[in-house]
């Protein structure tokens, strides 16, 4: 088991939902993907506030060296 696996998004829990925080969250996610999922290409990463004041993360990615394999992952926090 790796205690450092993933990204530490808990540190953003009490931060304001603004562009600075969204950029920092994106950076944290991209760093974790590059570190732990070396076969994944990030196509597009969106972090934004929803109408009901929740945080939503959309990740569009694909697998390297794979033909026509792409994923759209959405997470509402």
- Per-residue pLDDT tens for 23-63? 999 999 999 999 998 888 888 999 999 898 888 899 888 88
> Which residue range forms the structural domain that includes residue 65?
16-76
Overall number of domains in the chain: 1
Assigned domain for 9 exists = no
Assigned domain for 10 exists = no
Higher pLDDT, 20 or 76: 20
pLDDT value, residue 69: 65
C-alpha dist (Å) from residue 55 to 4, 10, 18, 27, 39: 23, 13, 10, 16, 27
Assigned domain for 11 exists = no
Assigned domain for 61 exists = yes
Higher pLDDT, 64 or 1: 64
pLDDT value, residue 75: 66
pTM for the full model?
Answer: 0.81
Assigned domain for 52 exists = yes
Higher pLDDT, 38 or 74: 38
Cβ atoms 17, 49 nearer than 8 A = yes
**If we measure between CA atoms, which residue out of 71, 11, 74, 67 comes closest to residue 37?**
71
């Amino acid at each position: 088991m790796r205690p450092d696996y993933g990204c530490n998004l808990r540190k953003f829990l009490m931060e304001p939902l603004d562009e600075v925080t969204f950029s920092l969250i994106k950076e944290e996610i991209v760093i974790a993907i590059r570190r732990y999922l070396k076969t994944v290409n990030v196509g597009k990463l969106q972090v934004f506030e929803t109408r009901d004041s929740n945080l939503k993360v959309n990740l569009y990615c694909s697998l390297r060296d794979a033909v026509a394999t792409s994923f759209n992952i959405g997470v509402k926090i």
